[in-house]
Amino acid sequence: MINIHLIVLGKLKESYWKEAEAEYLKRLKPYARLTIHELKEESFDDKSNTELIKEKEMEKIKDRLSKIKNGFIIALDEHGKQLSSPEFVNTFNNNETMEQRNNLTFIIGGPLGLHASILKSANLVLSLSKMTFTHQMARVFLLEQIYRAMMIKEGRKYHY
């Protein structure tokens, strides 16, 4: 069974996002051990140094990564590679080693995005769309795509 970690900055606030997440976590249970690591996002305003904010968040992410078994790291970023759902399945099949294939870590940043060093150290920088979504939306969309990938991989009817 594959181990999947989601490192996310911020919490799901609205009940509808929590319900959607719970549904996909339930659906994924037979296929993956999925752990969500919610990290506190840094508060900021228009006068804040955004690079300093991203550096603080980077330290939290790196600290969490140090506690997770080595695997294939995928950072979400609006400028990342865009994949179709069938292409996304290859993320679960074609990693360099069996250990990477069985241990995936996805990183979703906060409103300011991820620090450049996180993007540079990731094995894959992935974009969900050319459009921009809130990090709460991205979290649920990613879970749906992970579930879709599992269904495609298993040859199950879900993706048409």
In the chain, where are the structural domains located? 2-153
Q: How many CB atoms lie within 10 A of CB 36?
A: 17
Q: Options 3.40.1280.10, 3.20.20.70, 3.50.50.60, 3.40.50.300; which CATH number does 2-153 get?
A: 3.40.1280.10
* Residue 135 confidence (pLDDT): 87
Let me know: does 109 contact 135? Beta carbons within 8 Å. yes
pLDDT score at 100:
64
Q: Render each residue's pLDDT in the chain as its tens digit; 160 residues.
A: 899 999 999 999 999 999 999 999 999 999 999 999 999 999 998 898 999 999 999 999 999 999 997 789 999 999 999 999 999 988 777 666 556 678 899 999 999 999 999 999 999 999 999 998 888 999 999 999 999 999 998 888 776 5
Element holding 34 (H helix, E strand):
strand 32-39
